[in-house]
Structure 1
Amino acid sequence: MSKSTLALIAAGSAVAGASLTALIFSSRPQKVTSVPVPAYPSPPPQPVSAPVSAPLPTPSLTQSPVNPSGVLKYGLTPPIADVNITPSHTSAYNRQTRNPHWVAEHFTPQSLAQHNATRRNSVFHEDVNVPPIFRAKLSDYFRSGYDRGHQVPAADAKWSQEAMDSTFVLSNMCPQVGDGFNRDYWAHFEEFCRTLTKHYPSVRVVTGPLYLPKQYPDGKWRVSYEVVGSPPNVAVPTHFYKVIYGEEAFNSPTGRVALAAFVLPNTEIPNSKSLKDFEVPLEAVERASGLTFADKLPIQRRKRLCTEVNCEILVREFDKTRQQGSALDVGQRNVGQIAQEARKW
C-alpha cells in the first residue's frame, strides 16, 4: 500500500476513500493488510433524529399542488438509532444491521482494579429495549459459525456484577470470527486498551463494526457481507474499528487527550502482526462509518497516542472456553432475571 494514496485520503478526495478501503480492508482471509501511521481524532456520534411529531403544514394550491410530507401522518419515521445506557457502556443500535453503530465505554485504573463480578454469573440475552422486529436474537448466532463478539468486553466491567451482565446484551455484540480473531488477536487488542491505564488516569474507547467495499476482478467496488440467522437477520461486519481517547486528567475541560484509531478485518490475524499496521487516520474511520468522533475537541488539546505509548499487543494465551459459549449458555441466574435488570438501564 502506498503512502501517497493515504495522503490523498487525508485530503478527502472521493477516489482516496475508495483507495483506503482497498488498502486497509482487504477481504481475503489469508492476507491481513496493513495501514501506515496517521492523523488525529471526536465525541460519541449523535443518534439519528427521532420521528417528526409536529403538525404537518398543508400547502395552499397557490404554493404547491402537492404535499409530500403528508405521508408522515401515517407513521413513516426517519432512521432511528436506539440509544442504550447501561452500567458498563452507552451505545447506539442499528436496526437495519442488528449490530451497534457504536459502543462507548470508560475505564480507569481504579475501575479495573476491582474484581466484584464473574462471567460465570452472566448470560447472553436479547436487548428488551429494542422492538422485537428489529432485535438481534440468540437463535441468530446458533450454529452460525461466528462468535457473539463483545464490543465492550466483559473484562472491562469487573467492578460490579450488574455492569458485567450488561456487556452480555446482544446490542453489544457483533458476529466475529472466533479462532484467530475474537478469541485471539481481538482479545489481545482489548487487553492493550486496558494497559493504557498505566499511562492515563482515564481511558475512553468507542468500538463498532464497518461494512467496507472491496474491488472485484471487473474493477468495480462492491460491499458484500454475510447475514446470519434463520431467516437472515444479523449482518456480519467486514471490519471493526476502535477509537481510543487517553485522557491526561479525568473530567478536565483543558486537559490534553491522546487519540488513536484502528481498523481490523473480521478474519484470522496472526498474533505476530503489529498493531501499528492497523492504525489509521481518524478521518478514515469517520468516512467509513458516517460518524464523527472528536470535532468538539480543540486541536491544541490533541496528542497522538502512538507517539506516547508503544502500540503493540502483548500476546498471552487466553482461556478460550470463556470467550464463547453455545447459544443456550445459562449462568447461575437465568436470562429472564437479567432481562428484568436490563429494563431499568
Structure 2
Amino acid sequence: MAKAMLLIAAASASAGAAVTAIFLGRRDGQSQPAAASTTAPPPALATTTGSLQSGSKNIIDPSGWFSYGAPGPTNDLAPRTSFISVYDRRMRNPAWVAEHITAESLSGAKGDRKNSVFLEDQAVPERFRARLKDYFRSGYDRGHMAPAADAKFNQKAMDETFYLTNMCPQVGEGFNRDYWAHLEDFCRRLTAKYQSIRVITGPLYLPKLDSDGKYRVSYEVIGSPPNVAVPTHFYKIILAESGPAPGPTTSVAFQLSGGGPFAGRWIAVS
C-alpha cells in the first residue's frame, strides 16, 4: 500500500517537474511517538494556535505536530487558525509551515479567496519583512505553503493564508498553478482514506554541480533593492494518521524543483 501511495502521488504531482519522493515509514499503534526535539517551543506556545471546532470537539489542531517533535527552527513562530508558520528573516521566506487537515475541515465553504488580499506580516520587523512590491513584475507567483483551499471553513482562516510569511516565490505557469497544485490536491484527497493528515511545507536552497566540478548554492533574489530569495526546490512532508495519536501513521516526503525532466523516485527508509 505504501508503494502504491507513492506511485499515485508521483504521477499526480510531478509529470514534467523534478521530484524526489521518499517513503519515510509506517508506525503501528504499539509504538511510542518520537521524542520531542530539544528545539521544540514551550508547550504554551505550541497550543496558542487556533483550532476549528465542532461543538466542543477540535476538528483541526496544527500544533499537534509538536507531539512528534519540532519540524525545525521555531523563531518568529506564528500560530494561525489553520496552520503554524516559522519565518526565515535571512531569506524573507517561511522556514516551514505546519498544517492539519481532515475531511470535516475541508467540507466547510464559508471562506472565499475572492475576499482575501495578500498582506505583509506586520509582526515581522520591517527591515526583515517580505514586501508586496518585491513580487511586482518579478515574474514569480506568490506561492502558498499552506494552501488557501485548505482553509475554506471560515474567512479568517482563508485570509491568514495570504500573509507573505506563508508565501515563497514560485514559477507560476507549469509549477505553482500546475504540479504544485496537484500535490496540494493529493494531500486533500488523502483525507478520504485517513482520519487526519498533517503536512509540513517549505522551501529549500540546494547546491548544484558547476562546470568546474564543485557544488555551489545559487539562487535569485527578487525585489528592488533585492530582498526575497527564490528557492531552488520545495518540500512537503505528509503524515497520515489512521486514528488518534499515538495510533498508526504513514509518512511520505516530496522534494520538487520547478523545472527539468521528471525524475521521481522513491526510497524506503527502515
Same fold (TM over 0.5): yes
Structure 2, unpaired ranges of 5+: 1-15, 27-33, 43-72
Aligned mates of 2:38, 2:140 — CA distance in 1: 28
Q: Find the counterpart in structure 1 of residue 82 from structure 2.
A: 88
How many residue pairs get aligned? The number is 217
CA gap 1:80/1:203 in 2 versus in 1, 3 angstroms: closer
8 Å Cα contact 1:181/1:268 also seen in 2? no
Q: Find the counterpart in structure 2 of residue 74 from structure 1.
A: none
Q: Find the counterpart in structure 2 of residue 112 from structure 1.
A: 106
Q: Taking structure 2 as the reference length, what is the TM-score of the superposition? A: 0.74
Aligned mates of 1:121, 1:213 — CA distance in 2: 39
Q: Find the counterpart in structure 1 of residue 247 from structure 2.
A: 255
User: Relative contact order (C-alpha < 8 Å, sep 6+): which is higher?
Assistant: 2
1:216 aligns with 2:210: yes
1:147-198 deviations in whole A, cap 9, x for unaligned?
0000000000000100000000000000000000000110011000000001
> In the alignment, residue 254 of structure 2 is paired with which amino acid?
F
1:81 deviation in Å? 2.0
Q: Find the counterpart in structure 1 of residue 127 from structure 2.
A: 133
1:225 aligns with 2:223: no
CA gap 1:150/1:221 in 2 versus in 1, 3 angstroms: same
Matches within 5 A, 1:263-274: 263-267=255-259
Q: Find the counterpart in structure 1 of residue 235 from structure 2.
A: 241
CA gap 1:236/1:280 in 2 versus in 1, 3 angstroms: farther
CA gap 1:153/1:255 in 2 versus in 1, 3 angstroms: same
Which of the pair is proportionally richer in strand?
Answer: 2
Larger Rg: 1
> In the alignment, residue 95 of structure 1 is paired with which amino acid?
R
Q: Find the counterpart in structure 2 of residue 168 from structure 1.
A: 162
Structure 1, unpaired ranges of 5+: 1-30, 50-78, 283-298, 300-345
CA gap 1:171/1:268 in 2 versus in 1, 3 angstroms: farther
1:267 deviation in Å? 3.2
8 Å Cα contact 1:146/1:176 also seen in 2? yes
Aligned mates of 2:236, 2:111 — CA distance in 1: 25
8 Å Cα contact 1:247/1:258 also seen in 2? yes
Q: Find the counterpart in structure 2 of residue 204 from structure 1.
A: 198
Aligned mates of 1:47, 1:135 — CA distance in 2: 24
1:217 deviation in Å? 1.1
Q: Find the counterpart in structure 2 of residue 189 from structure 1.
A: 183
1:32 deviation in Å? 4.5
> In the alignment, residue 100 of structure 1 is paired with which amino acid?
P
Aligned mates of 2:22, 2:78 — CA distance in 1: 33
1:269-314 deviations in whole A, cap 9, x for unaligned?
7xxx58xx165678xxxxxxxxxxxxxxxx9xxxxxxxxxxxxxxx
DSSP-derived class of the 1:129 partner: coil
8 Å Cα contact 2:207/2:216 also seen in 1? yes
Q: What is the percent sequence identity of the aligned residues?
A: 54
CA gap 1:156/1:168 in 2 versus in 1, 3 angstroms: same
> In the alignment, residue 242 of structure 1 is paired with which amino acid?
K
1:45 deviation in Å? 9.2
8 Å Cα contact 2:206/2:233 also seen in 1? yes
1:180 aligns with 2:174: yes
- 4+ residue segments displaced more than 2 Å: 31-49, 266-269, 278-282
1:39 deviation in Å? 3.9
Q: CA RMSD in A?
A: 2.6
- Aligned partner of 1:100 among 82, 94, 102: 94
> In the alignment, residue 101 of structure 1 is paired with which amino acid?
A
- Aligned partner of 1:149 among 143, 166, 184: 143
8 Å Cα contact 2:171/2:258 also seen in 1? yes
